[in-house]
Amino acid sequence: MSNQLTRRDFAIRTTSLGLAMGLAPAATLAETEQASRSETSPAVADPYSLVDPELLPTLKHFPASFDLSAETVRQFRQLPGTPALPAPAPQPVERHIPGPPGAPEVRLWIVDPAPSEKNKPLLLHMHGGGFMMIGPGWMPLLQSIATDCHCVVVSVDYRLAPETRYPGALDDNYAALKWVHAHAAELGVDRSRIAVGGESAGGTHAASLAIHARDRNKEDVPICFQLLIYPALDDRTGSSRPAPPAIGHFMWTASANRFAWSSLLGVPAGSSKVPVAAVPARVASVAGLPPAWIGVGALDLFVEEDMEYARRLVHAGVATELLVVRGAFHGFDLLVPDAEVSKQFTASWKFALRKAFATKS
């Protein structure tokens, strides 16, 4: 079974358990469409009409909107994770490293496609899951990146919200970054080719980590590239900044975004109480950050904030590539991996990562 099919089957299995991507009570298609019509402005009478035709049949198995809550998070956490792909795929190895001062150890998962080789590139990966969960298909995704990009992948099992508020996860991720730099020789890694990346909330954490590492450059843990796959970059989206009518209807909504960011920050999302350093979009300057690839669907709640972040990077002289996928919603590539837009999207970010590794900083 392929990596892509494994992740898709996991998503569909969560529906059979009464959850939409593990987050929402199941609803009939008629109920979903009625709710969508009732909550949509006249300018977008049918949000489904904007969805890529290849994505549409699978999408209609899921509610268009849902309420993210502590209970749905608890239910998601109880779901079994997607198992790693069997050999000959490179196998994940569990490792525990010292955590931040006064904090528990940090668990890492290391996937090395060529253990005997030296001077390999490395991707420090942060998983998605709305800051509070672990996204589906975690292990197969790590294996596919390691194989297709011929790099060591080290994924951080950072502490989750709401039990751990900001900056707990950032501290865990930074501890992992320092560890891979310090143990580069042991890992067979070239220190000049260490990238950070992740999908959704993992992209948020990767962007925050790049900013944090820049601001603490005296510790000399350079990052060569940041891979940001539909990242959440602004807590104000869906709270103090309402979403435009055409976006954020599917899979990840404004209400889910408010709940997730508030859970991470410990204060209301979009409020004046939010610490600036906790949110990439709120940081005053993005100058001096590593080159970036940012990809997002045109119907994703995060599309505007991702485009704005890319604009800021470009204006600051940071080499940046932005891909906006027509007709695509949040997580579309995981839900319908065999769609042409999904295959093109995945090929784009993997090509960008390989290209970054081929060009030493």
Cα dist from 232 to 146, 229, 315, 336, whole Å? 24, 9, 20, 21
Question: Which among 192, 116, 193, 182 has a CA at the least distance from the CA of 153?
Answer: 193
Q: 278-314: string of b/e by CB count within 10 Å (b at 16+)? A: bbbbebeebeebbbbbbbbbbbbbbbbbbeebbebbe
| Active-site choice (200, 208, 262, 342) | 200
Q: Is 181 assigned a catalytic role? A: no
Residue 354, number of CB atoms within 10 A of its CB: 14
Burial of 245 (0-12, 13-18, 19+ CB in 10 A): middle
125 is catalytic: no
Is 333 one of the catalytic residues? no
Cβ neighbours of residue 20 closer than 8 Å, sequence gap 6 or more: 14, 26, 62, 63, 66, 251
For residues 326 and 341, the answer to whether their CB atoms sit within 8 Å is yes
Choice among 300, 306, 333, 342 that is catalytic: 300
Annotated active-site residue in 127, 249, 330, 333: 330
What the block records as the tokens of 223 is 């990052």
Active-site residue set: 200, 300, 330
